[in-house]
Structures are given as C-alpha cells and as structure tokens.
Amino acid sequence: MKLGVVRETFEGERRVIATPEVVEKWVAAGHEVLVEQGAGDRCSASDAAYEAAGAKVVETATAWTEPELVLKVHAPNDTEIDRLPEGRALISLVYPAQNSELIRRLEAKRITSFALDCVPRITRAQPMDVLSSQTGIAGYRAVLNGAQHYGRYFKGQITAAGRTPPANVLIIGAGVAGLAAIATARDLGAQVKVFDVRPPVKEEVESLGATFLEIESEESGEGVGGYAKEMGKKSQDAQHELFRKEAANTDLVITTALIPGKPAPLLLPKEVVEALKPGSVIVDLAARAGGNCELTQPGEVVDHQGVTILGPTLIESELPRQASDFLGQNVTRFLTLLSPEGEMNVDLEDDIIRCMLITREGKTHWPPENIPQPDKPKSGTAAAAPVTVNEPEDSGVGKYMFAAAILGLTLLVGAKAPKDFIEHYTVFVLACVIGYNVVWGVTHSLHTPLMAVTNAISGIIVLGGILLALTTVSKAVLWLSLAAVLVASINVFGGFLVTHRMLKMFRSDKDRKGGKA
Amino acid sequence: MTEQMAHIVYLIAGVLFIFSLAGLAKQETARTGNFCGIIGMAIAILVAMAMASGLHSLVYAAIALGAVLGAIVASRVAMDKMPELVAILHSFVGLAAVLVGFAQFLKGDNSEGVEHLIHQIETYVAIAIGAITFTGSIIAWGKLSATLSGKALTLPGRNLINLGMLVALVYCGVNFCQADTQADQLQWLYWNTAVACVLGVHLIVAIGGADMPVVVSMLNSYSGWAAASAGFMLSNNLLIITGALVGSSGAILSYIMCRGMNRSFANVIFGGIASTGGGGGSGESKGVEDCQVVQAVQVADLLRQARKVAIVPGYGMAVARAQHGVSRLTQKLRDEDTEVYFGIHEVAGRLPGHMNVLLAEADVPYDIVLGREEINPDLAEMDVVLVIGANDIVNPDALENPESPIAGMPQVEVWQSKTVVVFKRGMATGYAGVANPLFFKENTRMCFGDASDVVEEVLGALD
C-alpha cells in the first residue's frame, strides 16, 4: 500500500506520526512510503533520515494526493481536507464527539477514516492506544514543567546551609497521565498524595509509593470503558473541601481529570487556589478541555496571588521525539491489523477496527455498535479480578460439622472404651493439636526439610519393631519385627541425614559474609 | 530399667520431637530442630533396647544395616531427586507398620472382652493404613521418577471403586473380629492387606503429576497416622505422639499446597483437572508467530539495563538442572548492583518447597528468595522478570478468565512488571494442559531453548 506521512500544521505541534525508524519498518513490510518535506524537522528527524529509511520525500501536494492512506497526528483542518482526493483513506486523531462538522466533510468526500483516539480499552488494543502512550508523556512532562516553576528542591535535604523539607505534590486523577506523574514526582524525591474518584485505582497508586486520598462518598466515579464519569453535586463539594484542606500543605498540584466527550470537571475553584501558599504551582493537564482549575488560561502561564498556574495545551509536543516514537509504534500495530497482507482490509468483525472506523464509502460508522467492555483488570491488577479466590476446605459450615463429628466420636469413645484406650486417645488428641499449632508457622522454603524430618521421626515405628523383637519367643514374629526394624531404620537415618544435608545448604547473605571473615 | 522410667524417657523424646518440628519452622532454628529430632530418636531407641532382654545382637544388626542403607541413599541422592526420595521413604514407614501389625497379631495378646476387640481393631487399622501408605508411596515414587507416566489414570467410576474398596475393608474387618481361629483371622488380615494395597495404588494413580506436591505431603500425613495406629496397637505413647505430630503436620502441608492451587483437598484427590488441551483459554488459539521471540543476547541486554530483576522458577528449571547457572547469573547481576529477587509459588516443582531446596543447593542466599505473596506487590517495580520453566503458576487466565480450568488459582503476577522474559522449551502447555496468554502479552518476550543452555548463553553474553 502507498502510505503518506504529512507535516503537522497545528500551531505549536512538533510531533510527526512516524519517525524514520518506524518508516523503515513499514518499508520492510512492503509498503511504499511518501513523506512530506520537513515532516519531522521539529523532532530531529531530517528528510535525509527518512530517505535513508527507504521513504520518498515529496512536496506537500504530492504527499496528500499520491498515497492511498494518509497518516497524521491531528485531525485535518479545512485546507488539508481539500487537498485529500475523494475516496482515499486517513488515519489521525478525530475526536468525533466534538467534531461533527469534520465527520460530515469526510463522509461527503467518501473518505475511509480511522480515529486514533477511538481505540477500544481492551488488552489486545493496548499497543495501539495512542491516548495512553501520549498522556503518559504528558504526566511526566507536567511534573518537570511544574518543577521548573517551583522555587525549591523536590527532595528533602539536610545540608550545611540548612534543611529543606521535601516538596508535597498533589495529583488529581490517577489515569495514565496521573500514574506517570506520580512516578516522576517520586523519582524527584517529592512526597505524593493522589486523589481519584475511582476507588479501584487505589492499589495502583499505592504501588507507586504515593498516598491515596479518600472521601466518604457513596458514588463510584467509574464510568463506561474504565474512564471516569461526571460526579454529582454533593460529591463535588466534598472534593473541593478535601482539596482546600490539602492545599495548605501542598507545593505542586497536577490535575489530569478528563471525562470523554465533556468539558473537564472543575476541581480547583478560586478559593482552593487561594488556599495554596505563594510559590506553589498548578499544572492543569485538562487545559485543552477547559481546565480543571477555574483560573486556568489554556496555553498561558497565570500568576494568581503568587500561585503559578500552567495550562499547557500541547504538552506531549514538548517531548516531540519520544511522543513521535510512541505514536509511530502505536500506528504500526494498527496498520498490521488493518492490512495484514499489505492491502487494506476493513474487517468490521474486528472490535478494534469497528471502534476506530469513523466514515467509509460515504457513510458514518460512528458511534460503533457493541463497544467491547474493557478487559478487567487492565494490565492485571489482582484486586479487580472477577474470579474469586475460593477458600478451599474452609467454608464455615464444613468446619463446624467436622468439629462436631470429632466431638461426637470422642464422646462415643468415652462411653464404650476401656480406661487404657482413653489414656492413649487423650495423648493422641493432644499431640494432634500440638502438631497442628507447631507446624502452621513453617516458612514455605522449609517445607521439604520439614517433610524429610517428619519422615525421619515417623521412623519411630522402629520402636514397635524393637519391642516386639525383644519380647517374643516365636520365630515368625521375630523375623517380621526385625524386618520392620530394618526398613524403619533406613527411614530414621536416611531422613535425618538428608535433612541435615539440605539445611546445610540454606545460607543467608549474613552467614556467607560471616563464613568468609 | 523400670517401666515408669521408660515412660518418662519416652515423654522427653516426644517433647524433643515437638521442638524438632517447631525448630524446622524457621531458617535460623532449623538445624537445632533437626538435632533435637536426632537426640529424641536416639534416646528412644536406647531405652527401648534397655527395656527387655532379648536377642539384642540381632536387633542391633538390623538397625545397623538400616543405618548403612539409609546413609548411602541419603548422601548419594541429588537434590533434584529429593521428591522421589521422600516418597520412597514414606513407603518404608507404611511397610514397617504392616510388618509390625502382623508381628503383633501373631504374638497375640491375652486381653478379653471389649479390650480385646479394641486391640484387634487397632491392629487391623494399623495394617490397613500402613498398606495404603506403602503402595501409594511407591506409585508416587514411580510417577516422580518418571518410571510411571505422570498422567492421571482415571478409570471410569473410580470414586465408586474407591468407595467399594473402603466397604470391602470394613467387611473384612468385621469378619476378622468375629473369626474364631487364628488361622481364619490371618486369612482376613491378608485380604485386608491386599485390598488396602490396591486402594493405595488406585488412589495415587488417579492423581496427575502436577498435584504431586499435595500427594507427597498427604502420604507424609498417612505415614504419621500409620505410626500412630501402631502406637495404639502396642500401647506405646511415644509412637502415638510422634505419629500424631507427623500426621497433622503432613495434613497441614497438604492444606497449604491445596490453597496454593485454589482447590479443595477433595478436588485434588477425587477430581483431577480436566485436560482441555488449551480449550477454555482466551478463546483464541495463538502460536509462536504471535509472541515476541528474543535470543539470549537480547535477554542479556535487558538484564544489563535493569535495576531490579525477579526470577520465577518452575519445574522446568529443575528438569534442566539450571539452578547452578541461575545462581551464577544472580551473583553476576548482584555484583553489578542489580537487585535480584526470586519469586516462588507454593506449588512450583513436584514437592512442597522444591524450588527453595534447589536454589539453596546452588548457593542462592535464602533472604532474596521470596514467596508468592511477598513478591506480588513488588512485581510492578521489576524491570525484568525471568520466568524459567514455569507455566501454570504465571498464567493470567487464572485470575482473569472464569472459564479457565485453573480459574482462581493464585499466581505469581509476573505480567505486572515492565518486561517478562519466559525461558521455555517450546509452546507446549504446562501440566494443567491450559493455554497461557502470558506468552502473547505486549511486555512478554519468549526465549526458547533448554533452560540450562539459555542461562549459560545469557551468562556468556553478559561477559
């Protein structure tokens, strides 16, 4: 297939949909690739590099008109759509919910279009999920930008010149961006607190070493597809209250709360901003969708009573090469799915293709039917696993019935058996209880040695053989018991010896160092 | 020596055995524990010898012969053959119980009435349990040493067969107690032994190789009960105490193993995992072409860049005897300040704690060897996880797919880490015969080959 990589015209955009490394892969897969002049010059991918990778560098017009499939990052603007000949195909971000006019035009030009932002949230599709790969970068960069405007160290230090406490970072929204921000802030040495309306993410947050903030709320914020949903008024007030309290002790706030297809929720009203100490920084990653902070100016740096508010709208583009690399990888995976044999094959049976297809042959396919449910747990968190872990042999009823049976048996024994037997039975039951309690604590690594040692001591049956052999007069009994003594002794000696051998091997680091000294 | 004195010494021996088991619970005290056991056993044997004045020389000769045989076996056995050794030793206890039972019966006793009846029942039960332990352990040994097929042999209606044999045992028992002459009784005792032997074989033959850790610890428990029942028969408290200790210890180990597989004990014994051969997996059948295959050199690159590495070994490591290579790899990584941890699943290998013993043999310090529950929370921080010859214990389907035959079985959740490298001979399924979607995950790399060879190649590439 003939593929076209075009230059981004969106203001401030430095990314490109495919870096030379990615183009090389496409060429190797048998595609012919045309790259618009200067497509990658803002992310250190020169035209020469593309040529070296096997692409043909062409004029703008050619890059749009020649290929069967044009790939780019941003949705095409009006000029760009005009360049695209009728009936061709396009892969880019589309945001169909917000861009009905664009869809209408794509439909009118009978263009087959796929939206990179409509990858379904299923495991198989993860490698193609540009939203994840790009927002991860946004989270990372948000911390760095925040740090740049923050006038102190992140890491707590005690130096000859005095002592400085660690910075306190509050991250709101623990999606991909939030999690990346947590990790970055932790790496810089900050103390991190995190709030998210979806309780299940608590475990992920804590696994990154951050503290999870909770409010008493009956409402879970988990919406369709693993994204957050809009919250009711009451929980919103509770959130604002929580943030206002936290503000007094916070140096950097990063907000990442987005609701698909809706304006960003208001998380930081003016009074919360004013509760922050002067010198604090807010990075509002939702600026493009209106902002999580009341005072955010998209694309601007605002100073409100000493608090700096950053509202970056194209933060992924600040790491242009990294972001482009990831985009390229994502798109390559999708291309492989879309054209397994080199030619485009729009297989509507495939969940991923069906979800991403926006228009085709003059018809709109969005929104798709049968949105697949996200796989849970996403990338495998055990807490959300739908399969419950049974407690084998331990259901309450069974346990009590077992206890009752034992008790009944014991009483029966008491009623019928002679005194001698009762004595033995007493010893037996007590020994069972002792054995039960003693062995429970055994560490897993010693199971085998424990088994070998119990094996050795169950060779105590040798005693039976000895006593019988020594007190008998009959030949048959003598030989039988001698045989018993023989096999039991193998057990006794073999068991203890092998245990000893095993235990000798178990050594800790400490033992080792002691041994060398 | 008076009888009272002997009882006291038995008591001391019993207490020493308890200390022994308690000591074995922790690494630091384990050697003391073993020592306590040896002392207890020694004084018990000496006192028993001092109790009566019979043909001491013959008994000493039997013990000496047993000691020599035991010592030879124990000092020769390779650590990866430990499961077999433990299994065969169990069978000896069972055999001894049978022999003692017959000897006691032939010696006869002069009690009467209820007491006589109880003695008879005790003898009968001791022989039955001993015989089941004996043949069951031999079968387990055969399966573990691959003399017998590891596959579960499931006869149609096998639970009915088991039940039938149990009924037959009771029937023979009733007849045994009611028989008039010693010859008649002996006849029934033979029947008892025969049926119990067959029952032992049938019980264990029906259990698949993957469940062997449970079987071995269950037989461990049986051998304890056999000793305890012999104690009842001989009116010897020390035998009862020791038997009960061993019996309950083995039972707990079996329980722990079962929990490791999220299965009930009854399920392991009576209903093996159905071999669905990949069915019930993720619904998609995938092959080698769907996974990302890497070579040892690339694995070495990954390791060189990693700061934290976890190694999850399975039976494949034991089979390939790769533990020494793994140990040297660990040493090398640690020398370069990479943190290395081992994650051990309860049922990895064919014996409880099998992996730990192998790693200890290869000189891996035990404090970096963690259990499943200890390592799971930290796996997300691992840069690289090496899965060496493990399959059913690192299967995400068990947690994510309720249809999976191993659904609910706790797993070492390696897929949470940044990169997983799976060392594997081929794409074959594990013992449970279940497909493993781990191999097709985005962050999984497959490195095919014999575990030992691959580890050596990685070591070479790291130099």
- The residues in A 374-433 lying below 8 A from B, measured between CB atoms, are 375-377, 379-382, 385-393, 416-418, 420-421, 424, 427-429, 431-433
Residue A227 appears among annotated catalytic residues? yes
φ, ψ of residue B258 in degrees (nearest 5):
-60, -40
Q: Which amino acid is at A283?
A: V
Q: Report pLDDT digits (tens) over A22-65.
A: 999 899 888 999 999 999 999 999 999 999 999 999 999 999 99
Instruction: Give the Cα separation of B183 and A121 in Å (integer).
Output: 77
User: Which strands make up the sheet holding B308-313, listed edge to edge?
Assistant: B369-371, B339-344, B308-313, B384-388, B419-424, B444-448
Residue B211's closest CA among B306, B140, B105?
B140
Residues of B in contact with A420 (CB under 8 A): 115, 235
- Residue A124 near residue A333, CB atoms below 8 Å: no
Who contacts A8 (Cβ-Cβ below 8 Å, separation ≥6)?
A: A14, A15, A16, A39, A72, A73, A74
Residue A132 appears among annotated catalytic residues? yes
Pick the catalytic residue: A14, A15, A47, A132? Answer: A132
* Facing A448 at nearest CB: one of B249, B353, B377: B353
Half-sphere exposure (Cβ direction) of A289: Cα atoms closer than 13 Å: 18
Q: Report pLDDT digits (tens) over B311-321.
A: 999 888 887 88
Instruction: Give the Cα separation of A314 and B217 in Å (integer).
Output: 62
Q: What is the DSSP string of A197-261?
A: S-GGGHHHHHHTTPEEE----S---B-GGGSB-PPPHHHHHHHHHHHHHHHTT-SEEEE----TT
Test A463 with B228 for CB contact under 8 angstroms: no
Q: What is the DSSP string of B359-421?
A: HHHTT--GGGEEEHHHHGGGGGG-SEEEEES--TTS-THHHH-TTSTTTT-----GGGSSEEE
Cis peptide before A377 (omega within 30 of 0): yes
Residues of B in contact with A506 (CB under 8 A): 27, 30, 356, 360, 366
- The residues in A 204-223 lying below 8 A from B, measured between CB atoms, are 207-208
Chain A residue with Cα closest to B119: A421
In angstroms, the separation between the Cα of residue A296 and the nearest Cα of chain B is 35
Q: How confident is the model at residue B381 (pLDDT cuts 50, 70, 90)?
A: confident
Instruction: Give the Cα separation of A169 and A185 in Å (integer).
Output: 7
Helix ranges restricted to H, A376-474:
396-416, 419-440, 447-458, 462-471
Instruction: Give the Cα separation of A227 and A215 in Å (integer).
Output: 19
Instruction: Give the Cα separation of B14 and B8 in Å (integer).
Output: 10
| Average pLDDT of the residues in B417-436 | 76
Instruction: Give the Cα separation of A484 and B430 in Å (integer).
Output: 40
Our measurement of the distance from residue B396's CA atom to the centroid of its chain's CA atoms, rounded to an integer in Å, reads 25
Q: What is the CA radius of gyration of chain B?
A: 25
Instruction: Give the Cα separation of A424 and B115 in Å (integer).
Output: 13
φ, ψ of residue B303 in degrees (nearest 5):
-65, -35
Residues of A in contact with B407 (CB under 8 A): 387
Question: How does strand A56-58 pair with strand A69-71?
Answer: unpaired
- Residue A164 near residue A205, CB atoms below 8 Å: no
Residues of A in contact with B365 (CB under 8 A): 507-509, 511-512
Residues of A in contact with B15 (CB under 8 A): none
First to last CA, chain B: 68
Q: Which amino acid is at A265?
A: P
Q: What is the structure's pLDDT at A333?
A: 86
Test A453 with B37 for CB contact under 8 angstroms: yes
Residue A163 appears among annotated catalytic residues? no
Tell me if the pTM is above 0.80.
no
Q: What is the structure's pLDDT at A380?
A: 34
In angstroms, the separation between the Cα of residue B313 and the nearest Cα of chain A is 14
Which site among A393, A402, A445, A511 would you substitute to test the B interface, given the most B Cβ atoms closer than 10 Å to its Cβ? A445
Report the complex ipTM: 0.75
In angstroms, the separation between the Cα of residue A218 and the nearest Cα of chain B is 27
Test A507 with B365 for CB contact under 8 angstroms: yes
Structure tokens at B112: 């009467």
Cβ of A248: how many Cβ atoms within 10 Å? 10
| Average pLDDT of the residues in B373-381 | 86
Residues of B in contact with A450 (CB under 8 A): 21, 24-25, 249, 253, 353
Q: What is the structure's pLDDT at B281?
A: 38
Per-residue confidence in pLDDT tens, chain A, 517 aa: 999 999 999 988 999 999 999 999 899 888 999 999 999 999 999 999 999 999 999 999 999 999 999 999 999 998 999 999 999 999 999 988 888 899 999 999 999 999 998 888 776 777 788 988 898 899 999 999 999 999 999 988 888 888 888 999 999 998 889 988 998 898 888 999 999 888 778 877 887 778 898 876 555 556 555 566 666 777 788 888 889 889 989 999 999 988 877 788 888 999 999 999 999 999 999 998 889 999 999 989 999 999 999 999 999 999 999 999 999 989 998 998 888 888 888 888 888 898 899 999 888 888 887 766 665 443 333 333 333 333 344 445 666 777 888 788 878 777 777 777 888 888 888 888 888 888 877 777 788 888 888 889 888 999 888 888 888 778 888 888 899 999 999 999 999 998 888 888 777 766 655 544 3
Q: Which of the two residues, B36 and B318, has the higher pLDDT score?
A: B36
* Facing A444 at nearest CB: one of B95, B217, B371: B371
Q: Look at chain B and count its residues.
A: 463
Q: What is the structure's pLDDT at B288?
A: 65
Longest dimension (CA), chain B: 81
Q: Which residues of B are catalytic?
A: 392
Helix, strand, or coil (residue B338): coil
Helix, strand, or coil (residue B47): helix
Residue B306 has pLDDT above 60, yes or no: yes
Q: What is the structure's pLDDT at A423?
A: 84
In angstroms, the separation between the Cα of residue B123 and the nearest Cα of chain A is 12
Q: What is the structure's pLDDT at B276?
A: 35
Q: What is the structure's pLDDT at A347?
A: 85
Chain A residue with Cα closest to B112: A418
Q: Which of the two residues, A200 and B226, has the higher pLDDT score?
A: B226
